[in-house]
Amino acid sequence: MGKPSVGWSTFQKRWLLMLIVIFSVSTAIVFVIRAASDSCDRHYEDSGGRIHVPSASQIGSIANPLNFMKSRLVLLVSHELSLSGGPLLLMELAFLLRSVGAQIVWITIQRPIETEEVVYSLEHKMLDRGVQVFPARSQEALDTALKADLVVLNTAVSGKWLDAVLKEDVTRVLPKVLWWIHEMRGHYFKMEYVKHLPFVAGAMIDSHTTAEYWKNRTRERLGIKMPETYVVHLGNSKELMEVAEDNVAKRILREHVRESLRVRNEDLLFAAINSVSRGKGQDLFLRSFYESMQLIQEKKVQVPSLHAVIVGSDMNAQTKFERELRNFVIEKKIQDRVHFVNKTLTVAPYLAAIDVLVQNSQARGECFGRITIEAMAFQLPVLGTAAGGTTEIVVNGSTGLLHLAGKEGVTPLAMNIVKLATHVERRLTMGKKGYGRVKEMFMEQHMAHRIASVLKKVLQKAEGRSHF
Ligand SMILES: *[C@@H]1O[C@H](CO)[C@@H](O)[C@H](O)[C@H]1NC(C)=O
Ligand SMILES: *[C@@H]1O[C@H](CO)[C@@H](O)[C@H](O)[C@H]1NC(C)=O
Ligand SMILES: *[C@@H]1O[C@H](CO)[C@@H](O)[C@H](O)[C@H]1NC(C)=O
Instruction: Look at 340 and 2; give whichever has higher pLDDT.
Output: 340
Q: Give the predicted TM-score (pTM) of the model.
A: 0.85
Cβ–ligand 2 contact at 318 (below 6 Å): no
Instruction: Specify which residues 403 forms β-bridges with.
Output: 385
Task: List strand residue ranges (DSSP E) for 314-399, in order.
Answer: 338-342, 356-359, 382-385
The predicted structure's pLDDT at residue 50: 45
Q: How far apart are CA 80 and CA 122, in angstroms?
A: 11
Cβ–ligand 2 contact at 342 (below 6 Å): yes
How many Å lie between the centroid of ligand 1 and the Cα of residue 219? 10
Mean pLDDT of the chain: 86
Cβ–ligand 3 contact at 406 (below 6 Å): no
Among 131, 135, 192, 202, residue whose Cα is nearest residue 165:
135
Q: How far apart are CA 282 and CA 367, in angstroms?
A: 18
Distant-in-sequence, close-in-space partners of 411: CB < 8 Å, separation ≥ 6: 288, 291
Three-state SS for 396?
strand
How many Å lie between the centroid of ligand 3 and the Cα of residue 381? 15
For the CA of 212, the closest atom of ligand 1 is 14
- The preferred substitution site among 392, 393, 395, 402 for testing ligand 3, maximizing ligand atoms within 8 Å of CB, is 402
The predicted structure's pLDDT at residue 465: 65
How many Å lie between the centroid of ligand 3 and the Cα of residue 357? 17
**How many Cβ atoms are within 10 Å of 357's Cβ, its own excluded?**
29
Query: Letter for the amino acid at 453?
Result: S
For the CA of 342, the closest atom of ligand 2 is 1
Domains and CATH numbers, the chain: 21-235+445-466 (3.40.50.11930), 247-442 (3.40.50.2000)
User: Could you tell me if 47 and 34 are in contact, meaning their C-beta atoms sit under 8 angstroms apart?
Assistant: yes
Confidence of residue 147 (pLDDT cuts 50, 70, 90): very high
How many Å lie between the centroid of ligand 3 and the Cα of residue 233? 23
Tell me how far the alpha carbon of residue 178 is from its chain's centroid: 20
Confidence of residue 8 (pLDDT cuts 50, 70, 90): very low
Q: Which ligand is nearest to the CA of 343?
A: 2
Q: How far apart are CA 393 and CA 380, in angstroms?
A: 13
For the CA of 386, the closest atom of ligand 3 is 13
Q: How far apart are CA 54 and CA 99, in angstroms?
A: 7
Q: How far apart are CA 168 and CA 114, in angstroms?
A: 32
Which residue ranges have their beta carbon within 6 Å of ligand 1?
A: 216, 220
Cβ–ligand 2 contact at 260 (below 6 Å): no
How many Å lie between the centroid of ligand 2 and the Cα of residue 342? 6
The predicted structure's pLDDT at residue 315: 79
Confidence of residue 24 (pLDDT cuts 50, 70, 90): very low
Task: With a cut of 90, say whether residue 198 has pLDDT above it.
Answer: yes
Mean pLDDT of 293-318: 91
Mean pLDDT of 199-223: 94
Confidence of residue 85 (pLDDT cuts 50, 70, 90): confident
- 14-23, 294-303, 326-335, 445-454: which has the minimum mean pLDDT? 14-23
Question: CA–CA distance from 216 to each of 224, 296, 362, 386 (Å)?
Answer: 10, 43, 20, 20
How many Å lie between the centroid of ligand 3 and the Cα of residue 386? 9
Task: With a cut of 80, say whether residue 97 has pLDDT above it.
Answer: yes
The pLDDT tens digits of the residues spanning 343-399 come to 876 899 999 999 999 999 999 999 999 999 999 999 999 999 999 999 999 999 999
How many Å lie between the centroid of ligand 1 and the Cα of residue 225? 15
How many Å lie between the centroid of ligand 3 and the Cα of residue 366? 19
The predicted structure's pLDDT at residue 42: 38
Cβ–ligand 3 contact at 396 (below 6 Å): yes
Percent of the chain scored above 70 by pLDDT? 85
Mean pLDDT of 56-77: 80
Mean pLDDT of 230-246: 94
Instruction: Look at 37 and 13; give whichever has higher pLDDT.
Output: 13
The predicted structure's pLDDT at residue 450: 96
Confidence of residue 119 (pLDDT cuts 50, 70, 90): confident
Three-state SS for 308?
strand
Q: How far apart are CA 28 and CA 37, in angstroms?
A: 23
Task: With a cut of 90, say whether residue 409 has pLDDT above it.
Answer: yes
Confidence of residue 3 (pLDDT cuts 50, 70, 90): very low
The predicted structure's pLDDT at residue 93: 94
The pLDDT tens digits of the residues spanning 176-193 come to 999 999 987 767 778 888
For the CA of 403, the closest atom of ligand 3 is 13
Phi then psi for residue 332, to 5 deg, are: -85, 0
For the CA of 221, the closest atom of ligand 1 is 5
